[in-house]
Structure 1
Amino acid sequence: MDLPQVRLVLAEVGGRLALHMPDRYSYWHRILPLLLFGLKDEDKDVRCKATQLWEQVGRKYEEENMDQLKQEIDFDVPPSDYPPGEVRPGIGCRSLVQRSLYHILPGLLTDLDDWQASPRLHAAKLLAVLILNADSGVTQYAEKVLTALHLAAGDKEASIVKQVNECGHFLGCFLPPSVFLPLVLPRLGAGYHGERPLVVLAALVEGSSTALLQPCLPDLISALGEEDVALVFGEAHQEALLCVIRTLLNKCDFSENSFKMFYLLLFIASSSSVENATVAQEGLRELSRNCGHEEVQELYQKHTREVLDRLLETVGGWTEGSPSFLLLGGLMKLAGPALGHELEILTKILTACTTKGEDPFVCLHCLTQLRHLLLEESQPLAAGGQLEAWLPVLVSSEAHLCLNVLFQVT
């Protein structure tokens, strides 16, 4: 329906049926979509008319069912973090949608997978309206709705993905994390749905309240830290992951759960494109501020040893595409003086990387990074006062290349 005049008449027909049709109580699930479609229409006149009619329908339903709705009216408390910019529908509107969702959702969710973009977009818009009007009553349909959103989050049409984000935001306002996290976190593995669950998770977290989200933070970080979620190279995956991280950093306190987030951001900063790497480095600075540090170097000093310990466990047989090798390169590039306090374990890793039989690219890259560190005017490796003791070991692992490094340094 490309003409706004047609959509306006459709909303008016839906409104009249909902207000005056004698046996309308048997057909709410067929009547309501006609009216609710207009609430998110692009045309202002259609939107205003649909909103006006919907309020009238809600008030009339409330008046006709006052006895049944009395308890809900008396104890109606709006959510503390209601979606900004949205006006909460009345009890009558919410009750109508809650009672009709069971019949409306199956067909609507099928339309989200239609082969044409237009029906998919209209279905996504209607789903956002239904979630907003269903309020906390959407809880019993959470699994079905989230399954559909995971599918639609991979749509090629940006306008549909935008509506998916809005649906996720609304759901996050009405569903506690204890409800939506068990439904979303098992889907995060890259081999299962790619970045789509991360897109939905970011929207849910954005809508959720800090008070409810903070207690669930350890489980959430643990799921994000799994190898098939954290150590993935895809640009779209890393971009979606960064979106989740930024949202969490804005809402939660990481002072007691900072390492896994540090590890995750460091990997993206070490392995991604320039754009995502820049965002990840800004995320590291934000994580540092979140943890109460004045400088990001304090965060590196706090976690560099633990990262190096993990790398030491996996060292050997690295190639240029190994996540551990990329993490080492990122750490040598970004950690600065923090490395000077961990020269013993850094030396063990570099020695293992530059022995015979190791990948030549890995060996050369490690030694090149070491050269840059030794040539730095700020002398980051000397920060811990251990450089003189460990320099002979650093330059003895691969004689012909290490001598070249030593020659350029001296």
Structure 2
Amino acid sequence: MAALDENSNTVLQGIARHINCLGEDNRNTRKRALENIQRDTLLRDIALESIELQLIFKEILPPVLKVFSDPVEKCRELSTNIVMSFLKIVPDPEDHLSYIIPVLVQRLGQQEIVENSEEQRLLLVELLKQILEFSGKNIAMYLDDCIAILQRTIVDPYPEVKKESCRCAGYLAKKIPEHFHMQSESLIKPLLLSIAHQHSKVRAIVIEAIGDVVQYGNGKTVEPVVSHLAQRLFDQSPAVRKVLIKVVGSWLLDLPDRYSFFHKLIPLLLTGMTDEQPEISELADSYWHDTGIKYERENEDDLKDKQDFAKEDPQHYPANVERPNLGCRILMQRNLSKILPGLMKDIGDWVLETRIKSAALLYVLLLNAEEYITQHMEIVLSGTYRACMDEEPKVVRDVFRSCELIGYFVSPEVWCKIVLNNVRASQSSGSLMVLAAVIKGSEKEKLKPYLSMICETITSSDVCQSIQPQVQLQLIACVDSIGLIMADETSSVAVQLFTVLLTALALAQDQNVKDKVNSSLEQLATVLGLSSKQHLFELYTKSVIKQFDDNYFSWTNHSMERQIFDTLLIEAGDVIGDLLEDIIPILVTSLKPEKDPEMRLKFFTLLSRLVMNAANTLDSKKKFSGFAVSVVKDMVMPNCVWRAGRTAGAIRTTAISCLWALLKSHVLSKEKMEPIVENLLTQVITLMEDDNKSTRLIACRVLTRLFELMGGTLNQDRLHNIYPELLKRLDDSSDEIRVVVAKTFLAYFDCFGEGYDPDLYKAHLEAIFKGLLVHLDDSEKKIQEAILEVLKRAGQLHPAMLKQEVESVKHKHRTGQYCDILLKDVQVQ
């Protein structure tokens, strides 16, 4: 021992001058002194014994510590390294802490940063970490000093200092928890100031430190950190989120006061189960499972009955989902009331990411709560109604999945009253989406007694007759859900489901909605065992039409029922051929002249469309001929009467167009037309003078067809009353009409039978010939050629008279070409 002392004294004598030089003004002198001290003590060729170094270190420590404040950074660095090196090898390093700790506090623990070098501050914090590692429980007497240092270094601008300080905080908490818990609150604020640092590694280490500080601190530290940790759930770095899940998971398992904070911590962990990174979600799921198991063990006495007489897993349970253990379910049931209010508020938050995370969390909460959801239906549903209308598809998807769980775990007796009342009251897409989702999650046998109530709600006019695309899509979704769940039992409400889809199709202005309806009709047909959607129309068209019996007489252009009726007749195809007795009265009533003009216009458009394809619609069953006269008499003719206004003019055009389509379809026979032909001719001739060119043109075509149909049955006096009107039309402003009238004249002359006496009606024929010969000299060649054909046909009635009339006007014509052709034709006759 004496030899050791002698050896150490020798070394001290050798470095005495270097120690004295530490106080010199020259920086280089101080630097060389430190290097020499290091060389002669720590870096000797023949290393000193630890006991020797202990004696030496005791002597040199005070002067070296003074250099910690040296203005030269290199000197401060060398002095720190010397102290750190000695502490690693001396036998009792904690004996020197009374000198070192105050210096560290002076350099690092002041209000303002004393040490301006980032690298030196890092070196000093590493020194503190070294002290914490070797001092063990003895650091307790310096706890206040350590806390003072860490309060400053955790918020240090240099990221590396922050990270090392956080590690020190965690180490300190674990070393002396029995003392640390009294000071733990002091570190929470600086840690929280650093938790949002721009470097992800810093954020991760800060969260780890918070985990240790809270774990070994007191319960008061949990409350302020939870909201900050919740923000880290949105962190872009998976590594940060993973650390967060580890911290929260360990708290749920081991935090001394965890029972008081379950409602705060559970949402954080379960949100991790919805993370997009599989590694994180699986980690969170593992922690949650372990938490449930541990809760079961800790509360074994309370849960004994539930464990001993546990029910079998429910048969009706979401597919491909593992049921949480009993502890998890009980934990959720006991904390759900504290979690839900805040969560439902966050689902409607203005920040998109918050809404996405909250919607995903809701699913996990409800999956764990199971039938306990029943007690919280009002608050859950009030939030989901709004969330279902969110613009973000992810939010809507997860809320829909959550509502499906309501169907799995809550009796229809409970949810029907709440959801259906809201559907009727709000008539919103959100309410209908919730209904569709809950139905989709329900059990067939339990849902069956409430099926008619559900269908009654969605088919009510207030709900069903919406023009909003989103509402229409959700109505379709409700129908799809019912078909999916009820399958063969759907037939009892099939007509109501068909009505919903038909209404959506009729009122849809969006092609996407129309496509969805057609797809759903096909699905409904499949569910009912039908080969195609057309069979749905065969089964239910009559029932839908019967629904209009009470209100069709009061329809206007804006009546939803009118649009539904319109769509039904178009989509039903050949089915309506058997339902004419139901359809025609509605058409007759709706086309009365006193009805809304715009509505009549729409009905004539519908009627024309059906008549033009009569073989596949109205006359598909060869029964329409029995109603065709009624169409002409009760629908067309009353609407051909002149009335002022553009709309009235459009109705006349549409009405005569409908008559033209009817005549072309060949469903009107000569015998059926005889009773009404006189009045019809009068009305058609009136339309030949209409202001609208289209009306005049179609009227001429209709008259042509009437002449062709009725032939020689028309009274000759009646025929003679018509030709003046035809001659007038040869002066029409439209050449197209004049050409058509020429064809009408051809049909007109065909009506004069073999018993016609040309001498008796000489005056009429003379007037006809003279009127036609005027237009034989028309400036338009096509008119001349058309009139030539008419005169050839007219000349057959009285050739001599026509020859005489031609010769009397031939010299007045600009060219005698057509007169010569006509005379030659008459000569042949």
Q: TM-score range by the shorter chain?
A: over 0.9
How far apart are residue 116 of structure 1 and its match?
A: 1.7
Task: Report the equivalent of 2:301.
Answer: 67
User: 5 Å matches for 1:83-122?
Assistant: 83-122=318-357
- Conserved in 1, the CA contact under 8 Å of 2:475 and 2:500? no
Quote the Cα distance in structure 1 between the aligned partners of 2:283 and 2:627. 77
Query: Is 2:495 aligned against 1:259?
Result: yes
Matches within 5 A, 1:262-341: 262-272=498-508, 273-316=510-553, 318-341=555-578
Where 1:398 maps in the other structure, the secondary structure is: helix
Counterpart-to-counterpart distance in 2, 1:158 and 1:299: 33
Maintained 8 Å contact 1:81/1:173: yes
**Cα separation, partners in 2 of 1:10 and 1:318, compared to 1, 3 Å:** same
1:92 offset after TM fit, Å? 0.8
Measured at CA, do residues 34 and 301 of structure 1 come closer, stay the same or move farther in structure 2, by a change above 3 Å? closer
The Cα offsets for residues 18-41 of structure 1, whole Å up to 9 and x where unpaired, read as 111223222211222222221111
1:57 corresponds, among 282, 291, 312, to 291
1:409 is matched with which residue: 661, 665, 670? Answer: 665
Q: Is 1:27 aligned with 2:261?
A: yes
The farther-off stretch of 346-355 and 81-90 is 81-90
Match of 1:390 in 2: 627
| Partner Cα separation in structure 2 for residue 291 and residue 45 of structure 1 | 45
Do residues 366 (structure 1) and 599 (structure 2) align?
A: no
What residue identity is the alignment partner of 1:315?
Answer: Y
Q: Deviations over 1:336-371 (max 9, x none)?
A: 222111212211111111110223333233233323
On the 8 A contact 1:317/1:359 being kept in 2, the answer is no
Once the two structures are TM-superposed, the CA of residue 385 in structure 1 deviates from its matched residue by 4.5
Q: Does the 8 Å contact 2:465/2:507 carry over to 1? A: no
1:93-113, Cα deviation, whole Å (9 max, x unpaired) = 111111111211222222222
Aligned CA distance change for structure 1 residues 218 and 67 (closer, same or farther; 3 Å): same
Query: Of 33, 42, 51, which aligns to 2:276?
Result: 42
1:81–1:207 Cα contact (<8 Å) kept = no
Is residue 466–residue 507 contact of structure 2 (8 Å, CA) maintained in 1? no
Task: Identify the residue that residue 380 of structure 1 maps to in structure 2.
Answer: 617
Is the counterpart of residue 356 in structure 1 residue 600 in structure 2?
no
Cross-structure match for 2:387? 152
> Aligned letter for 1:151?
R
TM-score w.r.t. length of structure 2? 0.47
User: Deviation per CA, 1:63-96, whole angstroms, max 9, x where unpaired?
Assistant: 1222222332332322223222221110111111
Q: CA deviation at 1:250?
A: 1.2
* Equivalenced residues, count: 409
CA RMSD of aligned residues (A): 2.0
Please point out which of 223, 230, 242 is paired with 2:476. 242
Moved more, 371-380 or 353-362: 371-380
70-79 vs 154-163, which moves further: 70-79
Give the whole-Å Cα distance in 1 for the aligned partners of 2:427 and 2:601.
37
Identity of aligned residues (%): 31
Q: Return the letter of the residue paired with 1:379.
A: N
Q: Distance in 2 between matches of 1:76 and 1:312?
A: 54
- The answer on 1:167 being equivalent to 2:402 is yes
Post-superposition shift, 1:377? Answer: 6.7
- Is 2:463 aligned against 1:229? yes
Q: 1:317 to 1:144 in 2, by over 3 A?
A: same
Task: Confirm or deny: 8 A CA contact 1:271 1:277 kept in the other structure.
Answer: no
Q: Does 2:378 correspond to 1:143?
A: yes
User: Aligned partners of 1:71 and 1:139: how far apart in 2?
Assistant: 22
CA distance in 2, matches of 1:50, 1:295: 49
- Supply the distance in 1 between the matched residues of 2:246 and 2:426 (Cα, whole angstroms): 44
Whether 1:10 aligns to 2:244 is yes
Letter in 1 for 2:430: R
Letter in 2 for 1:398: V
1:239 positional shift: 0.8
Q: Which has the higher contact order (CA 8 A, sep 6+)?
A: 1
Q: Deviations over 1:49-68 (max 9, x none)?
A: 11111111111111122222
Q: Which moved more, 1:83-92 or 1:64-73?
A: 64-73
Quote how far apart the aligned CAs of 1:295 are: 4.4
Output aligned runs, 1:170-209, within 5 Å.
Answer: 170-189=405-424, 192=426, 194-209=428-443
The offset of 1:294, in angstroms, is 3.6
1:318 is matched by which residue type in structure 2? W
Unaligned runs of 5+ in 2: 1-231, 641-654, 667-829
- Render the CA deviation track for 1:106-164: whole Å, top value 9, x for unaligned: 22222222222222222222221111111222221122111111121122222211221
Give the Cα–Cα distance (whole angstroms) in 2 for the partners of residues 355 and 405 of structure 1.
20
| Deviation, structure 1 residue 317 | 5.0
Alignment partners' CA distance in 2, 1:377 and 1:383? 7
Give 1:286's aligned amino acid: Q
1:78 partner SS: coil
Cα deviation, residue 378, structure 1: 4.1
Q: Residues 377, 343 of structure 1: CA spacing in aligned structure 2 closer, same or farther, 3 A cutoff?
A: closer
Secondary structure of the structure 1 residue equivalent to 2:273: helix
Is structure 2 residue 451 aligned with structure 1 residue 214?
A: no
Deviations 1:309-357 (A, max 9, x none): 2224222453443211111111110112221112122111111111102
Q: Is the 8 A contact 1:367 1:405 kept in 2?
A: no
Q: How far apart, in 2, do the equivalents of 1:379 and 1:160 lie?
A: 47
Distance in 2 between residues matched to 1:50 and 1:233, nearest whole Å: 45
Kindly tell me: are residues 391 and 234 of structure 1, through their superposed partners in 2, closer, same or farther at Cα, counting changes over 3 Å? same
What is the letter of the counterpart of residue 215 of structure 1? Answer: P
Aligned-pair distance for 1:300?
2.1
Instruction: Tell me how far apart the structure 2 counterparts of residues 286 and 39 of structure 1 sit (CA, whole Å).
Output: 35
Moved more, 65-74 or 127-136: 65-74
Q: Do the aligned partners of residues 275 and 115 (structure 1) sit closer, same or farther apart at CA in structure 2, a change above 3 Å counting?
A: closer
Task: Return the alpha-carbon distance in structure 2 between the equivalents of residues 297 and 157 of structure 1.
Answer: 37
1:46–1:293 Cα change, 3 Å: closer
* Paired amino acid for 2:428: G
**What CA distance in whole angstroms lies between the structure 1 residues aligned with 2:504 and 2:348?**
32
Q: Distance in 1 between matches of 2:607 and 2:549?
A: 17
Q: Shift of residue 384 of structure 1? A: 4.3
**Kindly tell me: are residues 282 and 44 of structure 1, through their superposed partners in 2, closer, same or farther at Cα, counting changes over 3 Å?**
closer
Mapped to 2, the partners of 1:405 and 1:383 lie a distance apart of 16
Distance 2:250 2:524 in 1: 54
Structure 1 contact 355–398 (Cα < 8 Å) conserved: no
**Aligned AA (2:494):** S
Which portions of structure 1, spanning 4 or more consecutive aligned residues, are displaced by more than 4 angstroms?
none
Name the aligned partner's letter for residue 117 of structure 1.
L
Distance 1:302 1:391 in 2: 25
Q: Deviations over 1:222-280 (max 9, x none)?
A: 11111111111111110111111111111112212222211111111222133212322
Residue 550 of structure 2 aligns to a residue whose secondary structure is: helix
Higher Rg of the two aligned structures:
2
SS at match of 2:303: helix
